[in-house]
Structure 1
Amino acid sequence: MVAQSPKGYLLSLTKYISDLFQRARLSDNRTIDTPVETNARYSPTDGVPLSDQSLYPTIVGNLVYLPVTRPDIAHAVHVVSQFVTTLTSVHLGAVLRILRYLRGTRFHSLLFPSTSSLELRAYNDADWDSDPNDRKSTTGFCVFLGDSSIS
């Protein structure tokens, strides 16, 4: 949803997030301050395999679209999406953590200030060989339009 305010334009997916809570059958109202635990490392063998193999990939598939307006969860969604084929209780706990974080921040949105310039800036970073499971490198980037993160 795009809305205009006196300060600029707001971009938000509040309804999408509310629908995601219903699909995930998240009934408690607990919230968490961060989308992923500090220094959390997950592997395919963590925890007990899940008996319901359909819920996790559905929720993760829906979470993949949210970093468009919520770059604060991009890393957490990237981490949980690596385990869609090796579903365990630990991985489901990480997904529920993201959902509880979203519950507490569901009204957050991107603001594109009307006073901001249209300068496009991009930054990237690479972490070579840090994943102990497969020794693959991890890269990341962020793109700003004026003062607002857009990717």
Structure 2
Amino acid sequence: MDVKNAFLNGDLTEKVSMQPLPGSLFHSSNAYDSALFIHQTERGIILLLIYVDDTIITGDDITGISSLKKFLSHQFEMKDLGLLSYFLSLEISHDLSSYFLTQAKYISDLLTRAGLTDCKTSTTYVDPKTRLIPLDGHLLYDPTLYRQLDGSLVYLTITCPNISYVVHIVSQFMAAPRTLYYNALVHILRYLKGTMFHGLHYLVHSSLQLLAFCDADWAGDPTDRHSTTGFCFFLGDSLIAWCSKK
């Protein structure tokens, strides 16, 4: 649902409720995601995800969702955009059995910004022989592009968990990036060009068994001898959480 003119309002003079009013049908999910509200009905669950100018409504109570859309449209000027297909650079395709999340357009725009549209692809996201040390290489004259690309890669790990480790490595040199680190960053982009349409696949009818995997090296950082750990969580066959951290 697109909320029209969300950015055109002036200063507010009335009170704004930042929490659900007493007796509200919806309740906030938890303290860590204040934009997500949940309503349990006799037919199922309705999830309401609220942003500044967009609202996502989903769940398994189709009748309740339809009623909620009508109610919101009477309260605010809103437009129903239909089934979710693109949101915050996430591309969502779906059929009756699964959902598939990618960021192909985001990667394409990233390659254009880096001037790598016509570059060769790489089969790996990091050169196994590369060891990044803080004082190797020359300081970049202007680190702006490096920082922009690195920040974009961090956001890209939303659908590309396989690059989490190497992005975590190059992000450690944001303060004073050097040529060697930029080469490593370009290597990641070349890999992404060849895997642009890879993403996350979620089956509708998946097991609810929670599986967790973790690993760590031992004093793997050549500078401070700190270790790096990583984990991933699966709900059935669906990857739902992951991390790489020194």
Query: Fold-level match, TM-score > 0.5?
Result: yes
Alignment root-mean-square deviation, CA = 1.6
Check whether the contact 1:44–1:83 (CA below 8 A) recurs between aligned residues.
Answer: yes
Instruction: Compute the displacement of 1:6 (Å).
Output: 5.0
Instruction: Compute the displacement of 1:39 (Å).
Output: 4.5
Kindly report structure 1 stretches of 4+ aligned residues shifted beyond 3 Å.
none
Residue 123 of structure 2 corresponds to which residue in structure 1?
33
Instruction: Compute the displacement of 1:45 (Å).
Output: 1.1
Q: What's the TM-score once normalised by structure 2's chain length?
A: 0.58
Residue 73 of structure 1 corresponds to which residue in structure 2?
163
Q: Does 1:14 align with 2:104?
A: yes
Instruction: Compute the displacement of 1:109 (Å).
Output: 1.4
2:185 to 83, 90, 95: 95
Instruction: Compute the displacement of 1:21 (Å).
Output: 1.4
Q: Looking at both structures, which has the greater relative contact order when contacts are Cα pairs under 8 Å and sequence separation is at least 6?
A: 1
Counterpart-to-counterpart distance in 1, 2:199 and 2:191 = 14
Please identify the structure whose Cα radius of gyration is greater.
2
**Structure 2 counterpart SS, 1:117:** coil
Residue 121 of structure 1 corresponds to which residue in structure 2?
211
Q: Which structure 1 segments of 5+ residues have no match?
A: none
Check whether the contact 1:116–1:147 (CA below 8 A) recurs between aligned residues.
Answer: yes
Q: What's the TM-score once normalised by structure 1's chain length?
A: 0.91
Instruction: Compute the displacement of 1:7 (Å).
Output: 4.4
Structure with the larger helix share: 1
Distance 1:114 1:63, change over 3 A: same
Check whether the contact 1:68–1:150 (CA below 8 A) recurs between aligned residues.
Answer: no
Structure with the larger strand share: 2
Q: Which structure 2 segments of 5+ residues have no match?
A: 1-90, 242-246
* Residues 101-123 of structure 1 deviation map (CA, whole Å, 9 limit, x = unaligned): 00011011111123421222222
Instruction: Compute the displacement of 1:42 (Å).
Output: 0.6
Check whether the contact 1:11–1:69 (CA below 8 A) recurs between aligned residues.
Answer: yes
